């Protein structure tokens, strides 16, 4: 049963990671439903699986940043990552508590409101390229989006739209800026397990199957999201988030 539950979580992660609906929120919700106790660990592992999806789809951009570490795109990622790291470190105790699902309905609702407001802000507004100032504030948004239910992609895209940036450009930047944060999260989890002697009671077969599923579905989801970014209306995602917020209120 646990293996099937983890497989489903991998499917959910792959589908929702690149849509503005909070994959971590969905993982916490369904982990609670299926009785998976290691919500944070499972979330980080599955985020690493979809990280590989990003590396595959954007390998040219990633290689460009590695080979040109002082290029503007690389420096924009650095600028965005710094405030994210600071916020995460300061709020870490609260973040860990939030994975119990207590604030999930509220966080889903916050994501819905942000998407609605950002779409309204883009009407009749001139779009510009991402600046260092925009990257900083997008990084701040990413820092607060570590709470399950607050969509990382939705929040960062919204922050970029508030700054007047192009939707398709912000979407791509949102995917790329998740790379260092996911890697750092994995390192922190490994260190905590190694130093603290924390035992993880999760099926190895199940989490492996879930990871492969999240990776493969994630590749398809990224390509789909990039295609619909230009024409998709963010308010449709916000309607879904309102619905899932109500559902989680009664489930948890």
Reported as a single tens digit per residue, the pLDDT across 49-90 is 988 999 999 999 999 999 998 999 999 999 999 999 999 999
Question: How far is it, in rounded angstroms, from Cα 143 to Cα 155?
Answer: 10
Residue 126 has pLDDT above 60, yes or no: no
Residue 143 has pLDDT above 70, yes or no: yes
| CB distance 106 to 28 below 8 Å | no
pTM over 0.75: yes
Burial degree of 186 (CB within 10 A; 0-12, 13-18, 19+):
middle
The range of the structural domain enclosing residue 180 comes to 2-251
- pLDDT over 90 percentage in the chain: 35
Q: Is residue 200's pLDDT more than 70?
A: no
Judged against a pLDDT cut of 60, whether residue 124 lies above it is answered with no
Mean pLDDT of 105-132: 82
pLDDT surpasses 90 at 117: no
Highest mean pLDDT among 78-87, 126-135, 191-200: 78-87
Lowest mean pLDDT among 14-28, 91-105, 118-132: 118-132
Rounded Cα gap, residues 204 and 10, in angstroms:
13
Residue in the structure block whose two tokens are 């971590």: 24
Give the pLDDT confidence score for residue 230 in this predicted structure.
64
Using CA atoms, how far apart are residues 96 and 19, in angstroms rounded to an integer? 23
Mean pLDDT of 146-150: 90
CB-CB contact of 176 with 54 (8 Å): yes
Pairwise CA distance, residues 217 & 139, whole Å: 26
| Stronger pLDDT, 237 or 99, i.e. the higher one | 237
Average pLDDT over every residue of 10-36 = 85
Residue 198 clears pLDDT 60, i.e. is over it: no
CB-count exposure of residue 138 (10 Å: 0-12, 13-18, 19+):
buried
What pLDDT is attached to residue 169? 86
Q: What's the domain count of the chain? A: 1
Residue 26 predicted with pLDDT over 80? yes
For residues 192 and 195, what is the distance between their CA atoms, to the nearest angstrom?
5
Helical H runs in the chain? 2-16, 23-34, 39-57, 59-67, 72-98, 104-121, 132-144, 152-162, 167-196, 204-228, 234-251
Interval 209-248: pLDDT, tens: 989 999 999 998 888 877 776 666 778 889 999 999 999 8
Q: Give pLDDT tens digits for 160-177.
A: 988 888 888 888 899 899
Query: What secondary structure, in 3-state letters, does 105-130 show?
Result: HHHHHHHHHHHHHHHHHCCCCCCECC
What average pLDDT is seen over the chain? 85
What the block records as the tokens of 219 is 């590749």
């Amino acid at each position: 049963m646990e293996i099937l539950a983890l497989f489903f979580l991998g499917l959910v992660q792959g589908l929702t990671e690149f849509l503005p609906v909070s994959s971590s929120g969905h993982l916490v919700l369904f982990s609670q439903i299926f009785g998976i106790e290691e919500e944070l660990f499972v979330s980080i592992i599955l985020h690493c699986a979809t990280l590989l999806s990003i590396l595959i789809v954007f390998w040219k951009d990633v290689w460009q940043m590695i080979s040109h570490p002082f290029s503007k795109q690389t420096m924009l990622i650095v600028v965005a990552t710094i405030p994210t790291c600071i916020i995460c470190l300061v709020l870490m105790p609260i973040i860990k508590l939030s994975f119990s699902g207590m604030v999930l309905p509220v966080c889903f609702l916050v994501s819905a409101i942000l998407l609605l407001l950002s779409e309204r802000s883009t009407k009749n507004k001139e779009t510009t390229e991402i600046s260092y100032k925009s990257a900083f504030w997008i990084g701040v948004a990413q820092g607060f989006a570590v709470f399950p239910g607050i969509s990382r992609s939705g929040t960062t895209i919204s922050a970029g739209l508030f700054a007047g940036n192009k939707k398709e450009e912000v979407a791509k930047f949102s995917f790329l800026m998740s790379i260092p944060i996911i890697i750092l999260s994995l390192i922190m989890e490994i260190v905590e397990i190694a130093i603290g002697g924390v035992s993880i009671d999760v099926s190895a077969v199940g989490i492996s199957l879930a990871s492969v599923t999240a990776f493969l579905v994630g590749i398809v989801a990224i390509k789909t999201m990039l295609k619909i970014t230009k024409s998709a209306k963010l308010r449709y995602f916000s309607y879904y988030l309102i619905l899932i917020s109500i559902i989680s209120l009664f489930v948890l």
